[in-house]
Amino acid sequence: MTQTLTLRRPDDWHLHLRDGAMLQAVLPETARHFARAIIMPNLVPPVVTRADATAYRGRIMAALPADMRFEPLMTLYLTEDTDPADLAAAAESGLVKAVKLYPAGATTNSASGVKDFDKVRPVLEKMAEIGLPLCVHGEVTDADIDIFDREAVFIDRVLDPIRRANPALKVVMEHITTKDGVEYARAGGDTLGATITTHHLIINRNHMLVGGIKPHYYCLPVAKREVHRLALRDAATSGDATFFLGTDSAPHIDPLKENACGCAGCFSATNTLSCLAEVFEQDGALDKLEAFTSLNGPAFYGLPENEDTIILTKGDPVTYPAKIDTDDGPVTVFDPGFALHWQVQA
């Protein structure tokens, strides 16, 4: 018997669209199901000024198929040279919805990120004043810190001091991966939110490493132990308004994933809603799916919920393409490792 589930159209609060040929190929994979997305600014060169964000938004809209509707929510890349006045003007215009903090060297194209956090204090103070959220890639990059501990250390050394110094600053802990992150976010009050990715709800580090290295499960922050994955599942399916979907869908062509120093990122835009419906059903929480995908994010960002809806239907297993073709090469779609029975009704 076919089952149906109606949701307000979802948003993606953490998305990589890249640029050029990659942008042309992957944008429709998100726009097909999502109304809006927070667009990551870690291009080469990064999106650091209002002018940069205006130009990038123009390229996104030019790449959008004529029969699709989609609103890119632009962000600026925080550097030690960010101009608070330019940032404020970008926010006041409605163009920019958040600022992204990358600790220098934390992930793809993060070399321009922050090394000395004292140098960005004026920017953070201005953001707190005007209500512009700070999205943080929550990992330290110290060579002496184990990669599986980087998130927990970041909370103690960087995030908590920033929030204590700027209690009015709205902060999004992006792509949390640990029980520590869940617990800190839950206790953070109205000014703290947290996104959780599709793939971190499904894979732990064994999926990446057991039986041979699986490069298409390699991401940053790296997947952690099973106890952490279960904490993320509990948070996402709880209905708690603190947590909302940010896929961190991050496309790389296969030759850059499948080599001796493979790029980090899972591309999940194509099948995320099917994966999530399966996860929430497994946990007996289909009634909480809409909050996670469609309600909690807009509430945190102070934006209206989408007025239109989507319908998911459950039936025989649905097949998705294994790869998305781009003019630069193929991009492998995230494989959850189990059958998907839910799909968005065309």
Q: Is the torsion defined by CA of 81, 130, 297, 156 positive or negative? A: positive
| pLDDT category of residue 82 using cuts at 50, 70 and 90 | very high
Mean pLDDT within 143-147: 95
Both tokens of 2, joined, read: 């076919």
Instruction: Provide the 8-state DSSP code for 65.
Output: -
Residue 172 predicted with pLDDT over 60 = yes
Q: How far apart are CA 14 and CA 18, in angstroms?
A: 13
- Any idea which residue has 């499960």 for tokens? 217
What local confidence, expressed as pLDDT, does residue 35 receive? 98
What local confidence, expressed as pLDDT, does residue 109 receive? 59
Q: Please report the domains of the chain, with CATH numbers, ordered by start residue.
A: 3-344 (3.20.20.140)
Residue 21 predicted with pLDDT over 90 = yes
Mean pLDDT within 199-220: 98
- Maximum Cα–Cα distance across the chain: 60
- What residues are labeled active site? 248
Element containing residue 134 per DSSP (H, E): strand 134-137
- Any idea which residue has 């490493």 for tokens? 209
What local confidence, expressed as pLDDT, does residue 104 receive? 76
Mean pLDDT within 218-230: 98
Mean pLDDT within 82-108: 91
What local confidence, expressed as pLDDT, does residue 114 receive? 83
Taking alpha carbons only, the member of 40, 43, 116 closest to residue 73 is 40
Residue 46 predicted with pLDDT over 70 = yes
Segment 296-345, tens digit of pLDDT: 999 999 999 999 999 999 999 999 999 999 999 999 999 999 999 999 99
| pLDDT category of residue 33 using cuts at 50, 70 and 90 | very high
Kindly report the pTM of this predicted structure.
Answer: 0.96
Q: Are strands 134-137 and 171-174 parallel, antiparallel or unpaired?
A: parallel
The alpha carbon torsion through 226, 231, 232, 233 (nearest 10 deg) reads 90
Mean pLDDT within 176-200: 98
- Average predicted confidence (pLDDT) for the chain: 96
What local confidence, expressed as pLDDT, does residue 116 receive? 85
Q: Are strands 96-101 and 134-137 parallel, antiparallel or unpaired?
A: parallel
Both tokens of 285, joined, read: 């929480």
Buried b or exposed e, range 134-166, using 16+ CB within 10 angstroms = bbbbbbbbeeeeeebebbbbbbeebbeebbeeb
